[in-house]
């Protein structure tokens, strides 16, 4: 499940924060593992598979490194991104009006776009920098809005930043009660005094100072209250990382896959993710 952000010029409206001003977007182990986790939670694979594509009864077609979907418009955002690539051969030109229609109405229909995966794979097999374009859309659509909250709260740890990034993808980055902004607001309301915790990083919650990881633990409780089966493995994984005190991904992240089996997500300097 992914919260709809109805298609209305998605790339242009994604965020007022220029990506160049986001210091976290750099190639290091923090970012490497963060992006692997984001891809892993969405696809059950941390390999950044830009080519993968499948039909989904819930989302129309889902494809790429975080299962960009035809229903919610981020697959269309990727297609609009590649239109500026000199190697793009217009594979999606004929179906673009239909993709715009489905994105604008959050429709999971596949009528008129049945060869979507064939075209997606053809682009992946071409000279188009497909992975780079997908990462660019991922950053603009999801990381940049999440960064607004990350920056405002002056978060220190990669784990907390990853949770915000993931929430923006799975629940939206707005201020609604089940979106990132609403979940932050509800979590903040749980703190009525200065609160110590295990991490040593303090964040401001109103007039109080709260340990960042103590705050994150409460946030996960609040997110769990949404009752989304989509969140179950993610929250279990985040709590496991807290238990391991792996707040900054200083060693491989021990998380759980869709079959509830533990998997290690290591830092790999050979992965160029941004």
Whole domain around residue 198: which residue ranges?
A: 18-44+52-265
pLDDT per residue over 138-160, tens digit each? 999 999 999 999 999 999 999 99
What pLDDT is attached to residue 2?
Answer: 46
Q: What is the pLDDT of residue 102?
A: 97
pLDDT at residue 6 tops 50: no
Q: Evaluate whether residue 199 is within a structural domain.
A: yes
CA distance 62 to 70: 7
CATH code of 230's domain: 1.20.141.10
Residue 12 domain-assigned? no
Q: Is 107 exposed, middle or buried (0-12, 13-18, 19+ CB in 10 A)?
A: middle
Question: Is residue 112 packed enough to be buried (19+ CB in 10 Å), middle (13-18) or exposed (0-12)?
Answer: middle
pLDDT of residue 123: 98
pLDDT at 11 over 60: no
Residue 10 lies in a domain: no
Residue 255 lies in a domain: yes
Partner residues linked to 263 by β-bridges:
255
Mean pLDDT, range 43-49, rounded to an integer = 91
- Assigned domain for 107 exists: yes
- Give the CA count within 13 Å in the CB-facing half-sphere of 80: 20
4 in a domain, yes or no?
A: no
Q: Is residue 274 part of a domain?
A: no
Residue 273 maps to a domain: no
User: How many structural domains compose the chain?
Assistant: 1
In the predicted structure, residue 163 carries a pLDDT above the cut 70: yes
Q: What's this model's pTM, rounded to 2 decimal places? A: 0.88
């Amino acid at each position: 499940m992914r919260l709809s952000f109805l298609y209305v010029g998605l790339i242009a409206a994604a965020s007022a924060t220029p990506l160049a001003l986001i210091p976290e977007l750099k190639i290091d182990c923090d970012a490497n593992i963060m992006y692997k986790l984001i891809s892993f939670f969405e696809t059950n694979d941390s390999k950044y598979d830009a080519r993968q594509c499948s039909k989904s009864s819930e989302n129309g077609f889902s494809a790429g490194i975080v299962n960009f979907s035809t229903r919610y418009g981020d697959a269309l955002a990727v297609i609009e991104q590649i239109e500026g690539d000199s190697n793009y051969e217009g594979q999606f030109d004929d179906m673009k009006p239909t993709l715009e229609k489905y994105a604008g109405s959050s429709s999971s229909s596949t009528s008129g776009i049945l060869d979507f995966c064939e075209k997606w794979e053809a682009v992946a097999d071409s000279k188009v920098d497909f992975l780079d374009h997908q990462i660019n859309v991922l950053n603009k659509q999801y990381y940049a809005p999440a960064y607004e909250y990350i920056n405002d709260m002056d978060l220190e740890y990669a784990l907390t930043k990853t949770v915000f990034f993931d929430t923006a993808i799975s629940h939206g980055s707005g201020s609604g009660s089940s979106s990132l902004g609403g979940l932050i607001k509800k979590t903040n309301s749980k703190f009525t005094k200065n609160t110590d915790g295990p991490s040593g990083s303090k964040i401001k919650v109103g007039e109080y100072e709260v340990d960042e990881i103590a705050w994150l633990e409460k946030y996960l409780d609040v997110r769990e209250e949404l009752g989304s089966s989509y969140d179950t493995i993610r929250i279990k994984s985040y709590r496991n990382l807290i238990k391991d005190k792996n707040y900054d991904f200083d060693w491989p992240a021990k998380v759980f896959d869709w079959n509830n089996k533990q998997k290690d997500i290591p830092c790999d300097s050979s992965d160029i993710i941004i």
